[in-house]
Each structure stands twice: as C-alpha cells, then as structure tokens.
Copies of this chain bind each other. A is one copy, B any other.
Amino acid sequence: MAFHFPQKVLFKHCDPAGIVFYPRYFEMLNDAVEAFFDEALGLPFETLHDSGGVPTAEITTRFHAPSRHGDHLTIALTVTRVGRSSLGLTFHTDCGGEPRFTAHSTLVLVDENGRPRPWPEAVRQKLLDREEAPAHAP
C-alpha cells in the first residue's frame, strides 16, 4: 500500500536547462517523508523533532528521465523494511505513468543525542501493516 505524494514541478525547482535541478528532488523526497509521517503514521516532524529525528543513513537514486517545469509528478512511497530503529523506504516517481526517478533510502529514528531508539509500538505496527517486499528496480 503505497503513500502517494503529488508534486507539481515549479519554477524554483528548475535549472538553466529547464529541467529539475536534482538536489531539489531530495527536498521533494524529504517533503514526501514528512507528509507520510504526519498523515500515515500520526507522527508529525514538528513534534518528532522535539525529541530527536529521523536522519537519512543512506539513499540510492536513479534518474530515468528529466522532469520539466509544469510536470505533475507523483511520488509513491512504500515501506520495504522495518527494523528496530530503522526504516527502509522506496520511492517511485512518475509523471502520468512515465518513470522519472526511483530512490531507496534507510532512515533511523534517533533520540535527542543522535542515538538510535526503537519505534514506538503503535508506529511500528502501522509500518509493518504497510511493509512490502521491494519490487525489482526498473
């Protein structure tokens, strides 16, 4: 069960070649994760960050085709692995069915000192309910 995050490509995202400047994609992914934690897990970042956070430990990204100003993207976020403190996510981003980029990331829940802490049980259960085997990467 993927979480879908819509993102229109705006002027601010685009470079002199008229396509998305790729560091902006990582801002979009961060926004998608923030929306997922808020809407799907009931754990808004603005609350979570009082007592730690969820830094990204690693992220692998493959860009399939450029995105242009005005494109309506959809980021489909899936949970691919739930660890004690970690979380594997996959993001498939397309524009009207045309793949644009795919990313795989690992986040870690940490306390205010940056040390891993276990997912609260209610959150862990919601994550497990969404867990899917990772699809073969395109």
Specify which chain B residues have a CB less than 8 angstroms from the CB of A46 in the assembled complex: 9, 11, 68-70
Main secondary structure of the interface of A (DSSP, over half): mixed
Q: Copy number in this complex?
A: 4
B34 touches A66 (CB 8 A): no
Docked complex Cα distance between A17 and B111 (Å): 11
Docked complex Cα distance between A53 and B63 (Å): 15
Closest approach, in angstroms, between the C-beta of A58 and any C-beta of chain B?
4
A55 touches B66 (CB 8 A): yes
Given contacts A16-B16, A23-B26, A70-B44, contact A34 B11 (CB under 8 A): yes
B63 touches A55 (CB 8 A): yes
Closest approach, in angstroms, between the C-beta of A6 and any C-beta of chain B?
14
Q: How many residues of A contact B (CB 8 A)?
A: 39
Closest approach, in angstroms, between the C-beta of A125 and any C-beta of chain B?
24
Q: Does A59 contact B (CB under 8 A)?
A: yes
Which residues from chain A sit less than 8 Å from chain B, CB to CB? 9-12, 14-19, 21-24, 26-27, 30-31, 34, 44-47, 49, 53, 55-63, 66, 68-70, 114
